[in-house]
Amino acid sequence: MKKYIVYITVMVAVIAAFVVVLNFFPRSEYSELERRELTKRPEFSLEALKSGDYTKGISSWYSDTEPFRDEFMTLSMQVRAMRALQIGAEEEQVNYIAAEPDPELASSPSSVSPVGSNSEESVPPTLVGQGGEQSEAFEELVPEQDELTQDERAKITNNGIFIVGKAPNARAMMAYKGKAGGTSYARVVNTYQEKFTDVNIYCMVIPTAVEYYCPAKARSATLPESATIDTLYAHLLPSVRKVYLLPVMAAHKDEPIYLRTDHHWSPLGAFYAAQEFCRVARVHVPELSEFDEQVTHRFVGSMYGFSRDISIKQSPEDFIYYTPKDVTYTATYTVYDIDSAFQVIGEHRPRQGEFFHHFKDGSGLAYCTFMGGDTKIAKVETSTRNGRRVLILKDSFGNALPGYLFGSFEEVHVVDGRYFTKNMVDYVSQNGITDIVFANNVFKAYGGGRQYLRFLTQRGSGIYTPRPQPKDTTAQAEPDTTVAAPTDTLAVETKNGTVFAADSLNSETNHNEQTEKTE
């Protein structure tokens, strides 16, 4: 009888403790795990009370701001890790993460020829048709893996992301859904080639980590990205210069060319891509010896928040990037303000700024090292003198490329596919652009890239709206971002309320320049 009394007493005490904690302890205001401001308590008004908005707001605030939110979520992840679903020989159900499907999968227009034999192109050795099989050369570079050890098994996590290996060397990857496709993106690139007849047009589709590090037993959880990439390249005009990265990245797959804890490639992976681009463009091909190595230690990137898997938090890595040694450069930015719907609402006058932003050890925002994020146009004038001016049309994967090109081009211009209010025809003409490279990851390319067509016809805003000064002017130790499920765009909100936009597979994180504090 006594043991039941003890049991009941303990349970009542636990429940009472939870009641006290949830109702009387300070509410959480910010989640480091999710990197976002939590829901604010709504202001009371009779109108809001009558409409029901006030009670709904109170409910959302109460459930979103429980005390010790991150600690409870971490505990939940640790418990889930003990019973994680393992991918064995049988096929498991996965919620794929991918962009909008191409509406015209592999429909070959008669006016478009397959990849030609231009010696300046990085041509795929074998192109695939509509069946989705991998090219033979690529298959040889990425052989099937042997039977996995216990530590190498993959487990499915939140949002269809799967984790390979265990802490402290776990790797998170997103499953790829696309099959052939990519033809809409090819037509966008072709349109630029037809529009800018005096400009060299390049297409660089960037594969993601799943193409190289998916274990054999997890193959059923994803589809080959090579099918999309090869079909896309087959639909490009012969005059488009192809930067074909599949074999380039495969040749270096034993090096850290992709981040384990983030959805981006690593700066080293971007370096090998920059080398291939320069080779195709017939400009100086950089060597790693031309750069100084910089390191942000204990980096844990976006995949921790995406997957909600404790093994990623327990697997920090070094974020290693490279700054040029023997070339001088000046970076000028036109910064955009955007609203909560990710629409540009303000444009600032061009001003100079740093290209590389060094974050302190342990920062989860180290990928924002390059230009500080996405919501801007960057123009970098270098000491190189060869008459070549390159424009990079990119998602956030492309952020890591420009720094390797300062010794190869007089000017490097960077435009994000989501934030550009000017007219592209005018911009190319006014800046004397000689080369345009489309540098987007395969998820973005599979989605079509139609926003680049809008750039050709939009009038250009010329907006200038002063940025509102934050009420709290105290510099933050770290800029803060929101982490959401890895769709095409996710919100980025700082503590002072300024909202930016970043993409998940196309960058995922950005930061407020006015409140950033880098070392």
3-state secondary structure of 205: strand
Per-residue pLDDT, 257: 98
Residue 42: which pLDDT band, with cuts at 50, 70 and 90? confident
pLDDT tens sequence across 439-474 = 999 999 999 999 999 999 998 765 544 445 444 433
pLDDT value at position 463? 55
Structure tokens at 470: 């934050």
Asked if 514 and 502 touch (Cβ cutoff 8 Å), the reply is no
Answer with the residue of higher pLDDT: 122 or 51.
Answer: 51
C-alpha 472/C-alpha 495 separation (Å) is 9
Q: Helix, strand or coil for residue 77? A: helix
Which range among 33-47, 395-409, 445-459 shows the weakest confidence by mean pLDDT?
Answer: 33-47
Q: Average pLDDT of 82-106? A: 39
pLDDT at residue 334 is higher than 90: yes
For the cut 60, the answer to whether the pLDDT of residue 428 exceeds it is yes
Q: Mean of the pLDDT values across residues 7-12?
A: 77
Structure tokens at 384: 């190189």
pLDDT tops 70 at residue 246 = yes
Task: Give pLDDT tens digits for 158-200.
Answer: 677 889 988 999 999 998 988 888 999 999 999 999 999 999 9
3-class secondary structure, 369: helix
Tens digits of residue pLDDT in 285-309: 999 999 999 999 999 999 988 888 8
What burial class does residue 48 get, using C-beta atoms within 10 Å of its C-beta: 0-12 exposed, 13-18 middle, 19+ buried? middle
pLDDT for position 136 = 33
**Residue type at 62 in one-letter notation:** Y
Give, in order, the Cα–Cα distances in Å from 180 to each of 80, 108, 144, 446: 36, 11, 21, 9
Instruction: Report how far apart, in Å, the C-alpha atoms of 226 and of each of 41, 204, 210, 229 are.
Output: 48, 13, 11, 5
Q: Which residues fall within 8 angstroms of residue 510, CB to CB, at 6 or more apart?
A: 368, 372, 373, 374, 375, 481, 492, 500, 501, 502
pLDDT in tens, 202-241: 999 999 999 999 988 788 888 999 999 999 999 999 999 9
Is the pLDDT at 77 greater than 80, yes or no? Answer: no
Integer Cα distance of 190 and 89 in angstroms: 43
Q: What's the confidence (pLDDT) of residue 378? A: 97
Tokens of 386: 């060869």
pTM: 0.73
| Residues 359, 296 contacting (CB under 8 angstroms) | yes
Better-scored residue on pLDDT, 22 or 85 = 22
Torsions phi, psi for 153 (to 5 deg): -65, 155
